[in-house]
Structure 1
Amino acid sequence: MSTHSSGTTETGTDTSDVPLFVASLGVRWRDLDAFNHVNNSSYLTYLEEARLQWLSHVPGPWFDEHAMPVMAASQVNYRRPIAWPAQLQVQLFCERMGNSSMTIAHRVIDAERPDQLYCDGHVVMVWMDPASGKPVPLPEAIRSTAG
């Protein structure tokens, strides 16, 4: 995990806090499109992988049969194409915490050139009861880790 400050993204999102988590990922050949750069859908896969890696490090239960996270919204601002080969860092930040939801800001940068921003944005995760489909309070493990 990284412990350095990142500043403000081009969209004005404040990411000066220490990241929740930093995932190191390599660009795979299969991530490329016909223009020989990473396909836009692969960015979402990188972000999903980073969130799952973060959640796997959360101490304590973050889901059970009555509370599971679902994606409510996502915003990805594509700043520059990613070419192969590349090593990436996906930085996650807690942008907002509500009663049942959490907004996770993200930045994808070049691992060897941290000033090279490939994308930024955020996702909104809502914890819900899968049986009822209704929102439930955020698990304490998420609150204490991200708060």
Structure 2
Amino acid sequence: MTEGAVDDTPGLLHRAPILVRWRDLDAFNHVNNSSYLTYLEEARLQWLRHVPGWYDENAVPVLAASSLNYRAPIAWPAELAVELYCERLGNSSLTIAHRIVDVADRHRLYSDGNVVLVWMNPHDGKPVPLPAGIRKAGERALAD
């Protein structure tokens, strides 16, 4: 578990606080659907910053797939938490389940789904094994 994680939540990789910005809103005063993807990206980057060896010039993560279910609109002002869970570890890929919830009430679910990250060699575009730090973090989360 890394900084931002909640100790009593099994399988959690990271819990990232996100403040809704005025510019995230659409014409109906709700967070625009594209902003949800930005929140997820921010949460993944917050998590990765705390994983030793997640990146080097010969092994970089690439977003291979994303699935996002909109469960409830988010109105401004709002304080959110993006929860990341390890769903699956492959040889070169990691599937991260995610939930966007109210920071004060984890049961108020705005969105859920998952993303698949594949680590690849940027020079030839071929998959490479997951970095040791990523594998260790994923295995620890799956063991919870």
TM-score, normalized by the shorter chain, greater than 0.5: yes
Alignment partner for residue 83 of structure 2, among 80, 91, 98?
91
Do structure 1's residue 104 and structure 2's residue 108 form an aligned pair? Answer: no
What displacement does 1:52 show?
Answer: 0.1
Alignment partner for residue 36 of structure 1, among 9, 29, 33?
29
Cα offsets for 1:87-122 (capped at 9, x unmatched): 001000000000000000000000122211000000
Which structure 1 residue ranges, 5 or more long, are not aligned? 6-16
Whose strand fraction is larger, Structure 1's or Structure 2's? 2
- In structure 1, what is the Cα distance between the partners aligned to 2:103 and 2:56? 34
Do structure 1's residue 77 and structure 2's residue 69 form an aligned pair? Answer: yes
Structure 1 residue runs of 4 or more that deviate by more than 4 Å after TM superposition: none
- In structure 2, what is the Cα distance between the partners aligned to 1:46 and 1:87? 12
What letter is aligned with 2:32? N
- Alpha carbons 1:68, 1:128 under 8 Å: kept: yes
CA RMSD, 1 decimal: 0.8
- Alpha carbons 1:95, 1:103 under 8 Å: kept: yes
Q: How many residues align?
A: 135
- In structure 1, what is the Cα distance between the partners aligned to 2:47 and 2:138? 10
- Alpha carbons 2:11, 2:86 under 8 Å: kept: no
What displacement does 1:18 show?
Answer: 3.1
TM-score, with structure 1 as normaliser: 0.89
What displacement does 1:63 show?
Answer: 1.3
Cα offsets for 1:56-81 (capped at 9, x unmatched): 011x2111111000000000000000
- In structure 1, what is the Cα distance between the partners aligned to 2:107 and 2:54? 33
Equivalent residue for 2:142?
A: none
Do structure 1's residue 56 and structure 2's residue 41 form an aligned pair? Answer: no
Which structure 2 residue ranges, 5 or more long, are not aligned? 140-144
TM-score, with structure 2 as normaliser: 0.91
Paired-residue identity, %: 64
